[in-house]
């Protein structure tokens, strides 16, 4: 098996699958833990450097397995410290990953799909169309690459990934199994050792996936809401036509009721004259009154031909005041990395669009 394409990529395997891989080949299951420690705790992907493995095992691994990561195509740093990587995949597609440093924490925004299968009208990623789901290796590989690039695997590293948000390109709950296995590696004590509260999955409201995630893993949940009535949300988030707001709120309540989390984060992009009026704020208060929650207001980040404008600072301030006066915990997300197009809703990558959505949009715009 000299051809790398025929070798098993160990980064595609959860710890349980890795144990099964070794057992199927006559090795002890504990070898999987050794591999996981080398790859994810120490950042080592060269079998020759895994010195607690026997020479025979290392030689066998070199013939039958590989630790293959996406390639860094572009590495950009923002003036505010935000870092963005354009990662090239084996099939020529590219995805984007963003690191956001803050006081005492470092948050990595990870992609789950090549493009996005959804078509939210205010999102630049949606304009790229959709190609495919990412593999486990392509999801967990983003965390490995960021940790390596930030010096996390070196002594004295001053920047570290402390939090992960599945908020990059794609809808993570529509790539459920691969995202789940990747998050399990993030949580695994022998790998990255993050806590469930430090991993947040953001969804546009895929209700079956929300219910399944609640029982399978129960990481922190963020819901891209953006509107409080079905008419407007159907326009902004077309998935709402399948899973309308009433059903979505019931699913959110079920997620909280599982006892793993005290609150759900609701993301709300602020679009001038569309969803930012005082009445919209009052509707949001009413919608969330029975659900333990906090609201994350996101100033819209413009992109060409988006047809939306950002709410003014004064309008956002008034919107926040109404929520605060009603007891709703509200944060306004600070725009980060907009000089390198790394802000929320701006991730684009390079997608071979199977949906033809990008071409249709260009034609509709008269381009």
* Active site amino acids: 96, 344
User: How far is residue 110's CA from residue 169's CA, in Å, rounded to a whole number?
Assistant: 7
Q: Tell me the longest C-alpha to C-alpha distance in the chain.
A: 69
Angle among Cα 341, 342, 343 to the nearest 5 degrees reads 95
Cα atoms found within 13 Å of the Cα of residue 351, Cβ hemisphere only: 31
Kindly report the length of the chain.
367
The total of other beta-carbon atoms located within 10 Å of residue 41's CB is 16
Are 98 and 337 contacting, i.e. CB atoms less than 8 angstroms apart?
yes
- Quick one: CA dihedral 36, 37, 40, 42, positive or negative? negative
Torsion from C-alpha of 118, 122, 128, 132, nearest 10 degrees: -20
Which of 156, 136, 150 shows the shortest CA–CA distance to 106? 150
Buried b or exposed e, range 231-252, using 16+ CB within 10 angstroms: ebbbbbbebbeebbbeebbebb
Can you say whether residue 332 is alpha, beta or left, with left for phi > 0 and alpha for psi between -120 and 50 degrees?
beta
Angle among Cα 191, 194, 196 to the nearest 5 degrees reads 130
User: How far is residue 161's CA from residue 243's CA, in Å, rounded to a whole number?
Assistant: 33
User: How far is residue 151's CA from residue 101's CA, in Å, rounded to a whole number?
Assistant: 14
Cα atoms found within 13 Å of the Cα of residue 54, Cβ hemisphere only: 6
User: How far is residue 25's CA from residue 270's CA, in Å, rounded to a whole number?
Assistant: 54
Are 130 and 354 contacting, i.e. CB atoms less than 8 angstroms apart?
yes
- Quick one: CA dihedral 180, 181, 185, 188, positive or negative? positive
């Amino acid at each position: 098996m000299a051809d790398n394409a025929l070798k098993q990529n160990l980064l595609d395997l959860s710890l349980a699958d890795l144990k099964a891989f070794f057992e199927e080949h006559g090795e002890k299951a504990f070898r999987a833990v050794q591999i996981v420690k080398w790859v994810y705790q120490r950042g080592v992907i060269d079998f020759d450097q895994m010195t607690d493995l026997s020479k025979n095992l290392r030689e066998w691994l070199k013939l039958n397995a590989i630790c293959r990561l996406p390639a860094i195509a572009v590495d950009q740093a923002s003036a505010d410290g935000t870092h963005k990587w354009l990662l090239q995949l084996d099939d020529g597609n590219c995805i984007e990953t963003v690191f956001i440093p803050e006081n005492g924490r470092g948050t990595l925004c990870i992609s789950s799909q090549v493009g996005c299968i959804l078509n939210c009208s205010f999102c630049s990623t949606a304009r790229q169309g959709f190609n495919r789901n990412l593999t486990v290796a392509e999801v967990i590989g983003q965390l490995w690459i960021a940790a390596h690039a930030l010096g996390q695997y070196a002594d004295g590293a001053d920047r570290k990934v402390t939090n992960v948000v599945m908020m990059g390109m794609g809808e993570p709950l529509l790539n459920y199994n691969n995202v789940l296995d990747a998050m399990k590696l993030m949580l695994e004590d022998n790998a990255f050792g993050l806590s469930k509260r430090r991993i947040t999955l953001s969804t546009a409201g895929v209700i079956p996936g929300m219910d399944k995630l609640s029982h399978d893993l129960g990481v922190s949940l963020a819901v891209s809401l953006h509107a409080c009535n079905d008419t407007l949300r159907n326009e902004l988030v077309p998935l709402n036509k399948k899973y309308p707001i009433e059903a979505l709120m019931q699913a959110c309540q079920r997620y909280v009721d599982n006892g793993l989390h005290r609150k759900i984060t609701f993301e709300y992009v602020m679009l001038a004259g569309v969803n930012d009026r005082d009445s919209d704020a009052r509707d949001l208060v009413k919608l969330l009154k029975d659900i333990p929650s906090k609201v994350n207001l996101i100033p819209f980040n413009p992109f060409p031909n988006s047809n939306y404008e950002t709410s003014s600072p004064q309008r956002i301030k008034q919107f926040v005041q109404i929520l605060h006066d009603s007891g709703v915990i509200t944060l306004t997300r600070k725009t980060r990395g907009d000089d390198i197009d790394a802000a929320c809703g701006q991730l684009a990558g390079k997608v071979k669009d199977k949906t033809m959505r990008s071409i249709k949009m260009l034609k509709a715009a008269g381009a």
